Amino acid sequence: MNSGFVLCLSPAGFHKMAYAEFGPVDGPLTICVHGLTRNGRDFDKLAAALAAEGRRVICPDVVGRGKSDWLPRPELYGYPQYLADMAVLLAKFGNVPVDWVGTSMGGLIGMMLAAQPHSPIRRLVINDIGPFIPKAALERIGTYVGKETRFATLQEAEAELRLRMAPFGIRKESDWAAILATSLRTLPDGNYSLAYDPAIGAPFAAEMTDMVLWPVWDAIKCPVLLLRGVESDLLLRDTAVEMTGRGPCARLAEFAGCGHAPALMEDDQIAAICAFLGGI
């Protein structure tokens, strides 16, 4: 694994967006983008599998997460900025077709990019998100995102992560260890916090309503694989089924034992993505 960054621009100035890179530099390009409070290292196992098939895989930390810079103004955290930053990332790696794997927020970013005229996205994998998100699910996320986190010990941090990420369906202790290793930052006083800017929760301070993006979905032309946790409250099954019958008419794969969102660490989840992307 290698790492790097691209320099992006917001109304408050320049900021760095970090990324991890796997696989041969001349391989077909795949970009994997994480969920709201997560970071690009969530894809380490998937990226290694794709790299073994000859793919070049880029896993960015969306601004405000992981090793990327934080924005100085909370109101700048939102999809217009995320889309602009991803356009810089796409430019960095050349004018080539790209396969996109997006979990939750990363899936929405992928949908919005794929819906644009002349989009470079060739194939799209969306992990447990869709063009209808119920208000209740957004309110659940709002109960924790944006809250300050501080832990005196790694054990306290691990307990919080296991609670928050229980719906991900992570089964192996080695995977939990990997999550812990990439989800924290050490504070100047020696305490720990989660590796994201609490200000990313600013949009959740407003009154929540159902999120409806069907026009975006209907504008997508590329093939889509839709992944869903059987117990998901963000991607309702009725929504997932409708996504198979309109717009790009996604293929649907559901995984038992998890909700929002499948961690993409289990062999069957990784195999489904590799099969859809077709090796190289």
Q: Which of 2-11, 34-43, 55-64, 198-207 has the lowest mean pLDDT?
A: 198-207
- Residue 279 has a pLDDT of 56
Q: Is the pTM higher than 0.85?
A: yes
Number of residues that this document lists for the chain: 280
Task: Look at residue 85 in the predicted model and tell me its pLDDT.
Answer: 98
> Counting beta carbons within 10 angstroms of the beta carbon of residue 261, is it exposed (0 to 12), middle (13 to 18) or buried (19 or more)?
buried
- pLDDT at 118 > cutoff 80: yes
Cβ atoms within 10 A of the Cβ of 119, count? Answer: 20
Domain ranges of the chain: 2-137+210-277
Whether the predicted pLDDT of 194 surpasses 70: yes
Distance of alpha carbon 66 from its chain centroid, rounded? 12
For residue range 137-175, list pLDDT tens digits in order.
Answer: 999 888 888 788 899 999 999 999 999 999 999 999 999
In CATH terms, the fold of domain 2-137+210-277 is Rossmann fold (3.40.50)
